[in-house]
Chains A and B, each alone.
Chain A
């Protein structure tokens, strides 16, 4: 009986994993078919291994530019998030005071508001400051959406560290400000990786804001480029569409494999603190 339930469980795990991988396999197969092959003629599990699709897709979809744009947006906004919310979390946890507590209260209230709520008025603001179709504008928008949750995580983490570490640094001649950057910030590593993981993929994949703020073809991020490229073909040229999707997915999967260990740790650290 015990043996039976165990095999049943393992079978369930295999089935679930299979269901999770299936779309990716099919995407790969599709991306390797020749343009002439109509969808799944013949044996649909055996592609034509027509790698030329990838070159065509790369050239026609301008996905290369989009990948660079997405990377710039993601890195810049992560740096802003880490610097701003790290400092804010430190100030809130260590000094308190009316202003710091007010900032914390506001962030706590706004943490539950999804970005779509204020995107339209934000669009008019962005037009006024000429931030539409700029990477820095998009990076600032993404960063501002992530600030409350990140600050919340940092505050919790700094509180769990003893005050002595900064006091020791201050006796050695640091100010409270430099003590943060020299002593506390390096100790926040688990928290930093949690914030990067919780926000990085979301910013990389952002579409709901990109559709408003990145309309220029040279400034598109990945989802925006994919959506426009796919709408052009509207159902035809599946081989090129699939190849583009594979190219777009590769960086994320690579980052995921690279970060997987920290990812599980970071997610749980971030989630249970929050």
Chain B
């Protein structure tokens, strides 16, 4: 075996990646921690104010409502995405004509910009004028949709449904990969041992699907807690600020010349994301 020499170009091959990442990610991250302790407005010199930003955040009603919205969105969206994605995958795992086409169609929404997707759904759902509104009107059920944008609960529901609709295909593909890596013999031997289809699902499919479940849960938690585009285009945070999420709040505060404050909010969001990710990583750790 040839040993790589100590020096030579190859010893520096990880340097470009590291430098780029250090400059555009790690450095801003550490700067952000410093900035979060100041009252910087983006222009005038910053003054150190300790934890004032954090105290301000937790005493701001709009911020608390944003936390609630963000967490509620994730609490509904992440599990639903996983369940719907898994159901899609179980359906699509069977052999039938046009299987590839169907998978493609279901995945297609996931590659479209969520911002554009939000606008497209807005065309469909706009109260009083959207397509679905008219379609429901034809059968006399337009009250079903009503003025969904005027109410917090229905606006949230629409956001969650559209998000699940768009990304179920993504979850499905990862579950499909997991399902296809389960050897057929395991199912057969379970059947011979007299297991019913629910038992097979519970004791064969689910444990062997753990790696896929783990990826899907973690990515969906991160994705839904940092949701941005779809809320911007679908409700713009309304009615009022009720469906505004934390990432939109960060952007608006930054534009509102509260630079220091918005970095503090970003750190809070970081913690909100980190905790459930760490917990779910622990819970789905494969036991082997």
Q: Which residues from chain A sit less than 8 Å from chain B, CB to CB?
A: 9-10, 12-13, 16-17, 19-24, 26-27, 30, 39-40, 44, 80, 83-85, 87-88, 90-92, 94-95, 97, 99-100, 103, 106-107, 110, 112-114, 116-125, 140-141, 143-145, 147-148, 151, 163, 167, 170-171, 175-177, 180, 201, 204-205, 207-208, 211-212, 222-223, 226-227, 230, 235, 238, 241-242, 245, 248-249, 252-253, 255-257, 260, 263-264, 267-268, 271-272, 274
Contact = CB atoms under 8 A, between A and B. Distances in A.
Given A9-B94, A91-B10, A114 B229 contact: no
A115 to B, nearest CB: 8
B113 A205 contact: yes
| Most-contacted residue by chain B among A9, A143, A227 (CB, 10 A) | A227
| Most-contacted residue by chain A among B123, B212, B273 (CB, 10 A) | B123
A226 B9 contact: no
A12 B91 contact: yes
B119 A272 contact: no
A88 B32 contact: no
A223 B230 CA distance: 11
Nearest to A201: B111
A226 B274 contact: no
Interface SS of chain B: helix
A245 B120 contact: yes
A207 B232 CA distance: 10
B182 interface: no
A125 B31 contact: yes
Contacts of B121: 23
Interface of B: 1-2, 4-5, 8-11, 13-14, 16-18, 20-21, 23-29, 31-32, 35, 42, 88, 91-92, 94, 96, 100, 102-109, 111-117, 119-121, 123-124, 126, 129, 131, 134-135, 165, 169, 173-174, 176-178, 181, 211-212, 215, 218, 222-223, 225-226, 228-229, 232-233, 247, 250-251, 254, 259, 262-263, 266-267, 269-270, 273-274, 277
Contact of B177 (A23, A88, A272): A272
30 contacts: A16-B88, A19-B165, A23-B109, A27-B120, A87-B13, A88-B18, A103-B18, A113-B25, A117-B266, A117-B267, A119-B250, A120-B35, A120-B262, A121-B263, A122-B24, A125-B24, A147-B17, A171-B2, A176-B10, A177-B8, A177-B10, A177-B13, A180-B10, A207-B114, A223-B113, A253-B108, A260-B100, A267-B173, A267-B174, A271-B174
Contacts of B229: 205, 207-208, 223
Given A95-B4, A95-B10, A211-B251, A114 B226 contact: yes
Nearest to A44: B134
B21 A147 contact: yes
A271 B116 contact: no
B115 A207 contact: yes
Contacts of A163: 1
B111 A226 contact: no
Given A177-B8, A272-B181, A116 B226 contact: yes
A103 B18 CA distance: 6
